[in-house]
Amino acid sequence: MKHLIDLTEWTAEDLEKVFNYATVIKNNQNSGFKPLAGKSVALYFEKPSLRTRVSFDIGIQELGGNTTVVEQFMAGIGTRESVHDVANTLNGFVDAMVCRLFNHQTLYELRQWSEMSIINALTDFSHPCQILADILTLKELGLWKNSLVMTWVGDPNNVLQSWLEIALMYPITVNISSPDIPTEFDSWFKDPRMKDRIFWIQDPKKAVSVADMVYVDTWISMGQEAEAEARLKKYEGYSVNQELSGYMPDHAVMLHCLPAKRGQEVDDFTMNKFKKVIFHESENRLHVQKAVMAYLLAPETTEVFYRLKTGQA
């Protein structure tokens, strides 16, 4: 049983397969490819979501599967019922569980008892599906290259964690521009695999000026609302606004995983300037997650479909 919890558990081959499948699935949307026919997927969200929840729900249906939303207030994983008992119950009903959780450890606990594929739809720790869609987008726009220089501006968070995990697979450089580096990211700077490929550039102007791609996310992630005032103060000066984005090289793009808090980490001008690439990426959540599910739940059928559509059958 294969899962998508941490990108570090996937190989470069897994990733290439998913990107290849995503392209073929996206380009053949009306081909009747239904690898999830007869399969059911539970969606369990402890935090709000627009893109992730809708794209998984629609994606499962488009691949011929059934979705069921398990409401947190009904199931209460770990509160109303133990993780163990929830996993064993859902094992009897569904083939996969898409989970957006606060506590990343709960994913491991679910997996321990699971006969279903567990898919990480964001935790406090990481957000792998986001990065898969980001890379698919960069590939499609001809902006992906192994020597890509990615500059993260603002709060080092769960989305950055997934970018760093993927950086272990591709020789990209990660610059982090923030007032400080939170201790949970310290180990990345000591990791020999990231030698000469991870830098803290405190000055955001300097940091964006060397980027091929600038990445922006909220300064107040879901669950951190009580710290809003302090965070707004801390990251003042790190807004990728009209002035700061003016320091980006002409060829560079900005991605934002969304939702954007316009007027905080980004402004209307910069959002509008990079609107095309940002919403292209947002749509790609659908296509790449379809590829993830097809790969996890129906690998053989999907490989046959891929070979057929790419003339390798």
Contact between 50 and ligand CP by CB under 6 A: the answer reads yes
Dist CA 185 CA 149 (whole Å): 18
Please give the radius of gyration of the chain, using alpha carbons only, rounded to the nearest integer: 19
For 42, which DSSP code?
E
- Contact partner at residue 270 from ligand NVA, ligand CP, none, CB < 5 to 8 Å by partner kind: none
Q: Which residue is nearest to ligand CP (CB)?
A: 52
Residue 157: both structure tokens together:
């968070």
Identify the residue among 24, 119, 135, 257 touching ligand CP (CB under 6 A): 257
Dist CA 154 CA 224 (whole Å): 15
Question: For ligand CP, how many residues bind (rule: CB under 6 A)?
Answer: 9
- Please name the residue ranges forming H helices in 47-198: 51-62, 72-75, 83-91, 105-112, 128-140, 158-167, 186-190
Q: Closer CB to ligand CP, residue 159 or residue 211? A: 159
- Contact partner at residue 177 from ligand CP, ligand NVA, none, CB < 5 to 8 Å by partner kind: none
Contact between 270 and ligand CP by CB under 6 A: the answer reads no
Contact between 257 and ligand NVA by CB under 6 A: the answer reads yes
Q: Which residue is nearest to ligand NVA (CB)?
A: 221
Contact between 289 and ligand CP by CB under 6 A: the answer reads no
Residues 181-220 that bind ligand NVA (CB under 6 A): 217-218
End-to-end CA distance of the chain: 26
Contact between 42 and ligand NVA by CB under 6 A: the answer reads no
Residue 238 in contact with residue 177, Cβ under 8 Å?
A: yes
Q: Closer CB to ligand NVA, residue 178 or residue 221? A: 221
Sheet strands (E) in the chain: 40-45, 66-70, 96-100, 117-120, 149-153, 173-177, 198-200, 213-216, 253-256
Contact between 178 and ligand NVA by CB under 6 A: the answer reads no
Residues 128-167 that bind ligand CP (CB under 6 A): 130
Dist CA 157 CA 122 (whole Å): 11
Q: Which residues bind ligand CP (CB under 6 A)?
A: 49-52, 122, 130, 257-259
Q: Which residues bind ligand NVA (CB under 6 A)?
A: 122, 157-159, 217-218, 221-222, 257
